[in-house]
Structure 1
Amino acid sequence: MTDHLDLNTLLATPYLTSDLPGIGGKIRSTMEDFLVDEVPLYLPCGEGEHLYLKVKKSGLNTQDVVKELAQIFNIHPKDFGVAGQKDKYAITQQWISLPFRGTGLETPEEATNIKAEGFEVLEAHLHANKLKMGHLKANRFEITIRTDTPEAPERIESLLDAIRAKGIPNYYGQQRFGNRNNTFIMGWNALVKSEIAPPLRKNSKLKRFALNSVQSAIFNRVLAERVLGDELHKAVPGDILEKKEGGLLRVDEENLAEASGYVQNGEMSPTGPMVGSRMLEPNDEVRRRESAAQADFEVEDSHLEAYRSLLRGERRVLRIVPEDLELLEANAEFIRIGFLLPSGAYATVLLRELMKADTY
């Protein structure tokens, strides 16, 4: 059990804009308050064996829609492909792929006649390959925050300016750890204590997700320490920086000043650990910090080795700068903003910085 771990401290995610007051408020008061439009890595080319459907949904998560389509076409859900999972409590648009053969359709366009409770098909085209997780460039958000804070309209401008200049910590959102951290707790017990909870025995995807939540907790711990130390916008000896256009740079004493310049101007960002057997290890001070964060959760390398097929490890950027961040409307009752985030980033993390309140 994790009772001896101080999860309130270990899972804390301090604000980057702690010097600025928030606007308070609530999100998802209605479905229309949370709009998400997937920006694909590529568009279907019009030829091939796979049918790509652009789906608009509300009140359903991605897997709910896949199950409905599987019944409509009598095709097994495992043959469907998605680039990312979208929330239930939002109006979202995303692409879903399935084998065209066996659908019973004469042309892809016939699929646009599909309208079911909670979703509809907007577009349908053929493509050569199945859509896979990660085949996603970004997500575009339009979000309304309902607030009764009179100062909200004037506060929001300063907050947005700060985020445009500084970016946001690339924390994993609370949804990664589950209600009352239950997902994390199941993952930690499996990883550290070799105690597999009944739900994990029956569901391999849930088991992987629970283990991943422990990786995410260690990452967030490293990132939180960096935020508290005011080091998110500078390079540290031992850092592994990720270039905006791809590629990595190791930081040492000789290139420290130059590397810090790259971080400050946004050309590169420091990375943190998603621990695992294949993760690229940093050096010097950064390696010491990451090892300490892992030890805080009592995770040993031998634990990771036991799950090497599920926890391969990678580097993840510690900071992201939202694109197209704009204030769409502001008054005494609500604030509406629009922005673009890369795949894997959490909109709720940005909203926390604005609201200074829980968003889960």
Structure 2
Amino acid sequence: MKLKVLPEDFVVKELARLPLREKGPYRVYILEKKGWNTIDLLLRLAKARGLPYRLFSYGGLKDRHAHTFQYVTVRHPLDLTTEEAKFSLRSIGWMDRPMGPDLLKGNEFALTLRALSEEEVSRIMRRVDEVRGFGYPNYYDDQRFGSMDRQMGLMAERLLKKHYNGSLQIYLTGIYPEEKKEAKERKLFFREHWGDWATCLSRAKTTMERKIFGLLTEKPKAYVEALRLIPAEELSLLFSAYQSFLFNELLRRILEDLGLELTAVPGVAGPYLFYRRLDRKQLVYLDSLSLPLAASRMEFPDAMSERHFTAILEERGLRRGSFNLRKVRQAYFKSTPRKAIIFPADLHVHPAESDELYPGKQKIRLSFKLPRGSYGTMLVKRLIMP
């Protein structure tokens, strides 16, 4: 099976409740894009118009390898309507507040699965019926863990353990698959010369690299002060990645504790365990179950989930109080509930067709809606699992 061969094979449209006004301090836009991630494109737009990036707000990040539609606000009266080959920005009105995740209801997906054999088509159709009846685990997918270095792990865990030097090293030298060759080589150089701050500064390229290595050149042990230079929004994303990692681990353990027959699908931050069917008691329990994201204050739905979470923290050398950071405070861990399993709304499968890109193979088009924060790619993993 092949996914995202063309941007049009993965279309995502935000569903939102927008309190539009005839006039207001925030101009609202629809941002349509292909081949761009949300932050990089907004940074480009801000720079092109000579506006501070802080004036731009969005509800969610959208995949670079997709055709996406999302809402953006800019706190500025200038009409930034733009039309280019790979993106467009179209003004649709005004609001009294910035765009944010709380305004999102979810996302509408239209996906094309390609290069399928007849056997794969048949299996996917059976899996669709299973998902309609029993849902599937609401894991965070691999794209949530783009900030995880394969050798050193997640920056936030080191920070929670007060390993300030180590967390800063992951932040500045973590290597990720989608990065350009030059960036990977530069980070390897930093890793090899870690502690020789003047040498690192000589190869620094980004503004943040220059700031941090410049500080450390003057104050060689100022790791906490350096960590405080990380922008709040960026640090929040790093914290969210770790919360997602812990959520997935907690959900895996609960599914195992229920004695379900599970199939493992590999993931960059651990396997995704999927069930095929549930008995009535299991379905009622999981459908009503919401698990908290990690923070110093959490509310668990039952003793089993709290017991598993406590065990996870102990294994990783943490406790709940670890999430109450005192030295790095520009971002923080906030606990919100997340459904353990989800049922795609309006799930429709179009009849299989010949795949024009892969002769002799077939393609299937799917359309469905998911709540905010749930991943269409996770549904695909569920449908194509062995």
TM range (shorter): 0.7 to 0.9
1:116 Cα deviation after fit:
2.5
Deviation by residue 1:243-275 (Cα, 9 ceiling, x = unmatched) = xxxxxxxxxxxxxxxxx8796399x52022312
Select which of 264, 286, 295 maps to 2:284: 264
126 and 283 in structure 1: CA distance in 2 versus 1, 3 angstrom threshold:
closer
323 and 183 in structure 1: CA distance in 2 versus 1, 3 angstrom threshold:
farther
* Aligned-partner Cα distance in 2 for 1:48–1:223: 43
64 and 333 in structure 1: CA distance in 2 versus 1, 3 angstrom threshold:
same
Select which of 79, 85, 88 maps to 2:64: 88
* Aligned-partner Cα distance in 2 for 1:209–1:338: 29
* Aligned-partner Cα distance in 1 for 2:314–2:101: 31
* Aligned-partner Cα distance in 1 for 2:151–2:132: 34
Identify the range of structure 1 (343-352 vs 148-157) with the bigger mean alpha-carbon deviation.
148-157
Select which of 305, 315, 319 maps to 2:324: 305
* Aligned-partner Cα distance in 2 for 1:182–1:53: 40
1:156 aligns with 2:124: yes
- Structure-1-length-normalised TM-score: 0.74
* Aligned-partner Cα distance in 2 for 1:206–1:68: 17
Contact 1:191–1:211 (CA<8 Å) still a contact in 2? no
209 and 55 in structure 1: CA distance in 2 versus 1, 3 angstrom threshold:
closer
Report what 2:245 is aligned to: 217
* Aligned-partner Cα distance in 1 for 2:4–2:112: 8
Report what 2:110 is aligned to: 142
In structure 1, the gaps of 5 or more residues are 1-24, 106-110, 233-259
Identify the range of structure 1 (279-288 vs 77-86) with the bigger mean alpha-carbon deviation.
279-288
* Aligned-partner Cα distance in 2 for 1:356–1:176: 20
Report what 1:3 is aligned to: none
Contact 1:270–1:318 (CA<8 Å) still a contact in 2? yes
Report what 1:55 is aligned to: 31
1:345 aligns with 2:383: no
In structure 2, the gaps of 5 or more residues are 173-226, 261-279, 354-360
Contact 1:159–1:354 (CA<8 Å) still a contact in 2? yes
1:133 Cα deviation after fit:
3.1
1:345 Cα deviation after fit:
0.7
296 and 351 in structure 1: CA distance in 2 versus 1, 3 angstrom threshold:
farther
Secondary structure at the aligned position of 1:228 is classed as: helix
Select which of 98, 111, 120 maps to 1:130: 98
Secondary structure at the aligned position of 1:278 is classed as: coil
Counterpart of 2:250, as a letter, is: V
- 1:173-322 pair list within 5 angstroms: 173-178=141-146, 181=150, 184-194=153-163, 195-198=166-169, 199=171, 201=227, 203-204=230-231, 205-230=233-258, 264=284, 269-306=288-325, 310-322=332-344
Secondary structure at the aligned position of 2:102 is classed as: coil
Deviation by residue 1:270-314 (Cα, 9 ceiling, x = unmatched) = 022312123214443332122112223332223222368611323
Deviation by residue 1:4-45 (Cα, 9 ceiling, x = unmatched) = xxxxxxxxxxxxxxxxxxxxx121111111111111122523
- 1:319-334 pair list within 5 angstroms: 319-331=341-353, 332-334=361-363
* Aligned-partner Cα distance in 1 for 2:243–2:76: 37
231 and 137 in structure 1: CA distance in 2 versus 1, 3 angstrom threshold:
farther
1:72 Cα deviation after fit:
4.3
Percent of aligned pairs with the same amino acid: 26
1:150 Cα deviation after fit:
2.7
* Aligned-partner Cα distance in 1 for 2:20–2:282: 36
- Structure-2-length-normalised TM-score: 0.69
1:44 aligns with 2:20: yes
* Aligned-partner Cα distance in 2 for 1:129–1:302: 34
* Aligned-partner Cα distance in 1 for 2:313–2:19: 40
Name the count of aligned residue pairs: 297
Report what 1:252 is aligned to: none
* Aligned-partner Cα distance in 2 for 1:283–1:56: 42
Counterpart of 2:84, as a letter, is: A
The structure that is helix-richer by fraction is 2
Report what 2:358 is aligned to: none
Secondary structure at the aligned position of 1:44 is classed as: coil
Counterpart of 2:168, as a letter, is: A
1:230 Cα deviation after fit:
4.2
Q: Which structure would you say has the larger RCO, counting Cα contacts within 8 Å and 6 or more residues apart?
A: 1
1:175 Cα deviation after fit:
1.8
Report what 1:237 is aligned to: none
354 and 207 in structure 1: CA distance in 2 versus 1, 3 angstrom threshold:
same
Contact 2:25–2:94 (CA<8 Å) still a contact in 1? yes
* Aligned-partner Cα distance in 2 for 1:321–1:174: 20
* Aligned-partner Cα distance in 2 for 1:49–1:152: 52
Counterpart of 2:255, as a letter, is: V
